[in-house]
Chains A and B, each alone.
Chain A
Amino acid sequence: MCVIDVDLVARARQGDPAAFGELVDRHRPAVYRAALAALGSPADAEDAAQDAFLLAYRRLDSFRGDASFKTWLLTIAWHQAINRRRSLASVWRRMAAPKTAEDAEEAIAGVASSGPSPEQAAEQQQLRRGIREAIRALSPKLRDALLLAQAGDYSYDEIGAMLRVPTGTIKWRVSEARRVIRKRLEERGHGHV
């Protein structure tokens, strides 16, 4: 797959739009999810993903093949998303964005995966809400590592390359994020449900 990516990159460098379109199709989910992990908003994530592909196209000449094209692209995407996250407009949007859609989705998921009794289903739903709040309350370093690790699209090495930290640091951050969340859940009485 990496070899094909490199071929596509070579063709795209020669001005073949279809080759770059193929790269877009191939890596769109990974780029989008990385942006979503950073931004938390689907609309912002889509904008950031588009910007990342645009920037990647402009910088194709700087791709030397030291890492895989996916890693190189994800690094660009992550920085685009982080820049957007730091922006004032994004902060405003996230503050003003209603969380009812997420809550509704969570409620539907809770009903769909409900246990044998309504009480258990309600407890599970409450637990998931508590976890979600605890994840949001994490420091950005811990939250980014946890969300990227659980997105399923990236290896620890790729996450390390995106965040520019050693792989061991990523593993520690994921473990620490879980520990902090467990502690917060226990403090709220969720730990021993």
Chain B
Amino acid sequence: MSDERLNTAIDEVARRMTEGSPAGEAGFRRRVLARIEAGDAPRARWRPLFVAVPLAAAIVIAVVVTRSGPRPSGPDVPAAAPIAAGPTGPAPQRAEAGHETGPTPHLLAAGDRQAVRPPRPFESGVSAAAPHLDPIDPIDTIAVAPLGVDSLTPDPISVEPLETIAPLAVAPLEAIEEPRRNE
């Protein structure tokens, strides 16, 4: 097939690809005028998509995170539950001080941590169904006795006096006359 005939075939196919008229040709004018009268804006269907898709994804993620987040699922754990893990230094001190503070979160095992965690503000609906938890009392200040300065005073160090050295007597040297050489 010659180039010319092939070009003709190409043009023919291209023309067919753009053939046609709007469906309901008679109603096209009416539809356009109706949209003008209604103050309709040109449609931009894709723009809501760009907004809706991320928004929907964010909502789904928020719901999933909220529902699968840590919740008290086991038996109730009292606020003064024994410490399961972690260092034991500071906690007994508080107990000795007579404060009912409950264990601090960083001192608890994972399960216990969930049990004593206070409900977050947006979980108000969920917290109503959650087991009752005693509110954590505020921690009072710890009384600390002032340090005794006297106890830190060091003992005096005894120093023996050195022996005095007797002064040396130095006699002045006598002048020695040198012999004359060129005499």
A residues engaging B (CB < 8 A)? 17, 20-21, 24-25, 28-29, 32-33, 36-37, 40, 42, 45-47, 49-55, 57, 80, 83-84, 87-90, 109, 127-128, 131-132, 135, 146-152, 178, 181-182, 185, 191-193
Are B28 and A42 interface neighbours, CB within 8 A?
A: no
Of the four ranges (under 10, 10 to 19, 20 to 34, 35 or more), the interface on chain B belongs to 35 or more
- For residue B20, which residues in chain A have a CB less than 8 angstroms away from its CB? 32-33, 36, 42, 45
- For residue A29, which residues in chain B have a CB less than 8 angstroms away from its CB? 21
Cα–Cα, bound, A87→B49 (Å): 10
Interface centre among B11, B28, B42, B46, by most chain A C-beta atoms within 10 angstroms, is: B42
Q: How far is the CB of B54 from chain A (nearest CB, A)?
A: 12
B residues engaging A (CB < 8 A)? 1, 3, 6-7, 9-23, 25, 28-29, 31-33, 35-37, 40-46, 49-50
Are A17 and B9 interface neighbours, CB within 8 A?
A: no
Q: How far is the CB of B4 from chain A (nearest CB, A)?
A: 10
Are A151 and B29 interface neighbours, CB within 8 A?
A: no
Are B10 and A87 interface neighbours, CB within 8 A?
A: no
Cα–Cα, bound, A23→B68 (Å): 60
Are A40 and B40 interface neighbours, CB within 8 A?
A: no
Are A178 and B32 interface neighbours, CB within 8 A?
A: no
- For residue A127, which residues in chain B have a CB less than 8 angstroms away from its CB? 9
- For residue A128, which residues in chain B have a CB less than 8 angstroms away from its CB? 9, 12-13
- For residue B16, which residues in chain A have a CB less than 8 angstroms away from its CB? 109
Cα–Cα, bound, A80→B45 (Å): 12
Q: How far is the CB of B140 from chain A (nearest CB, A)?
A: 61
Given contacts A150-B14, A182-B3, contact A42 B42 (CB under 8 A): no
Are A20 and B42 interface neighbours, CB within 8 A?
A: no
Q: How far is the CB of A151 from chain B (nearest CB, A)?
A: 4
- For residue A149, which residues in chain B have a CB less than 8 angstroms away from its CB? 14
Are B17 and A37 interface neighbours, CB within 8 A?
A: yes
**Which of A80, A88, A109 contacts B46, CB < 8 Å?**
A88
4 interchain residue pairs of minimum CB distance? A87-B46, A150-B14, A51-B42, A151-B18
Q: How far is the CB of B61 from chain A (nearest CB, A)?
A: 21
Given contacts A32-B21, A37-B18, A150-B15, contact A178 B29 (CB under 8 A): no
**Which of A32, A83, A146 contacts B14, CB < 8 Å?**
A146
Given contacts A33-B20, A87-B45, contact A28 B1 (CB under 8 A): no
Are A131 and B18 interface neighbours, CB within 8 A?
A: no
